[in-house]
Amino acid sequence: MIKFSNKAALGNVICGQEIDSLMPEARKALEKLENGTGAGNDFIGWVNLPSGISEQSLSQIQEVANSLRETCEFVVTIGIGGSYLGAKAVIEALSDNFAAYKPAGTKVLFAGNNIGEDYLHDLMELLRERRFGIIVISKSGTTTEPAIAFRLLKDLLEKQVGKKVAAQRIVAITDEHKGALRNLATQEGYKTFVIPSNVGGRFSVLTPVGLLPIAVAGFDVRALVNGAINIEKADNELVLNYAATRNALYRAGKKTEILVNYNPKLHFFAEWWKQLYGESEGKENKGIFTASVDFTTDLHSMGQWIQEGERTIFETVISVEKADNEVRIPYDDANLDALNYIAGKRVDEVNKMAELGTRLAHQDGGVPNLLIQVPEISEKYLGQLIYFFEKACGVSGYILNVNPFNQPGVEAYKKNMFALLKKPGFEAESEAILARLDK
Ligand code: PA5
């Protein structure tokens, strides 16, 4: 089981007492979440989701994944925000670091998470002569970025294999009833999966949104879900401790939380985490800013700032106990690089010493360090981490007294973009924004 510790962490910033005194608030927040009495309670379907996933739905997901794996070299997962980050995080964490250069197996690619013309151009060039399929994901069914990517790739696929075969290689994941994507999927006869209406995007990785691409990539979605169930069924002490500690630190002026990893495979897990907490808590002019670093890589860039910059940060370190593979540093007679003092050691032993040394240095530098220990990177422990962070996010948002399940701020850029693009229905905004630009 994953473990959470704040013991060695608090330095002289806060003490255990301050966390203890926040515990009653954390317990109340948990009650609200579990009883559905808090803000945004129509979006808490994820709380009991892992144990509610039936064998039948997992089998259906696996079946569709198998059929895409049999027919396609590439499956492009189209989606943005919560509609892609969970799948990307898990697939990256479980994949060989150089999977892209190793031919075996169906590759899952991502699109619709940016509006980069060169990105889409290069992707279409790659897919032009290849067997590919598409998983298009949008809960609202109307998000611009994935809609553009889907229009382009659907067109490419239909030109390549004809409309009928294309329809067999496209899967849509969206709301059960509403949205442009639902209508399009019905019209075109695509296979579809439903995003439950009471599960928001960033809490949806354990629905088909995350599970289907992860299964297409060849990973064990049952084990992932079982990992999440471990935490769902455990007592809530881990969750309460993390939520209370980060809020105690926030109240003590620590406004930024940096998620730290020592394994490059966790880079996108941190991206998922940043979105989960950033979009859930950053509202009403409140909320911890979520950042992330990959160590030791970033010790040679942001490490300086973390050690000696403004003291408004704390770190949450994901520490993976066991590397998957063993690589030992060889002995060299000439020792011209002066490395024989670590000859015979595993690379991971050196990494662990870097981790410990950094934690101590950052604590000495006034950076509280929270620690999450994970036995290994596997489906089971990723499932545990996912549900742990989701539940702690709900609790933490309620401690902060915001609605963790909406994202009203995301609309501001869209309104301006639609006005600038003269989208029908945005004529008034269009005039106003053009007048503003003229000044
Ligand atoms: O967490 C969220 O709700 C958002 O990040 C959404 O997932 C994102 O905006 C994409 O929305 P949709 O799935 O409706 O296209």
Q: Which atom of ligand 1 is nearest to the CA of 146?
A: 15
Q: Is 113 in the pocket of ligand 1 (CB under 6 A)?
A: no
279 is annotated as an active-site residue: yes
Is 76 within 8 Å of 132 (Cβ atoms)? yes
Ligand 1 center to 200 CA (angstroms): 7
32 is annotated as an active-site residue: no
The pick from 84, 114, 139 for probing ligand 1's pocket by mutation, whose C-beta has the most ligand atoms within 8 angstroms, reads: 139
Question: Which residues lie closer than 8 Å to 152 by C-beta, 6 or more apart?
Answer: 120, 124
Helix or strand (DSSP H, E) at 388: helix 379-399
Is 81 within 8 Å of 201 (Cβ atoms)? yes
* Whether pLDDT at 13 is above 90: no
Ligand 1 center to 202 CA (angstroms): 7
414 is annotated as an active-site residue: yes
Residue whose token pair is 């989606």: 79
277-to-307, 364, 402 alpha-carbon distances in Å: 24, 27, 12
Count of Cβ atoms closer than 10 Å to residue 89 Cβ: 26
Three-state SS at 57? helix
Q: What is the rounded CA–CA span in Å between residue 47 and residue 430?
A: 41
Q: Which residue has the CA at smallest separation from atom 2 of ligand 1?
A: 201
Ligand 1 center to 349 CA (angstroms): 40
Residue type, 378: S
Which of 164, 233, 300, 439 is labelled catalytic? 300
52-to-133, 226, 283 alpha-carbon distances in Å: 29, 11, 31
Q: Output the pLDDT for position 11.
A: 61
Is 322 within 8 Å of 375 (Cβ atoms)? yes
Three-state SS at 289? strand
pLDDT in tens, 180-191: 999 999 999 999
pLDDT in tens, 146-184: 999 999 999 999 999 999 999 999 999 999 999 999 999
Q: Is 107 in the pocket of ligand 1 (CB under 6 A)?
A: no
Q: Output the pLDDT for position 339.
A: 98
Q: Which residue has the CA at smallest separation from atom 3 of ligand 1?
A: 201
Q: Which atom of ligand 1 is nearest to the CA of 195?
A: 13
* Whether pLDDT at 338 is above 80: yes
- Distance, CA of 211 to chain centre: 13
Q: Which atom of ligand 1 is nearest to the CA of 202?
A: 1
The pick from 42, 140, 176, 276 for probing ligand 1's pocket by mutation, whose C-beta has the most ligand atoms within 8 angstroms, reads: 140
Q: Output the pLDDT for position 12.
A: 65
Q: Output the pLDDT for position 10.
A: 64
Q: Output the pLDDT for position 224.
A: 98
Q: Output the pLDDT for position 438.
A: 82
Q: Where is average pLDDT lowest: 24-28, 103-107, 277-281, 369-373?
A: 103-107
Q: Is 25 in the pocket of ligand 1 (CB under 6 A)?
A: no
Which of 271, 279, 355, 379 is labelled catalytic? 279
Take residue 113 and report the two structure tokens written for it.
């998470």
Which of 3, 102, 163, 414 is labelled catalytic? 414
pTM: 0.97
Ligand 1 center to 271 CA (angstroms): 14
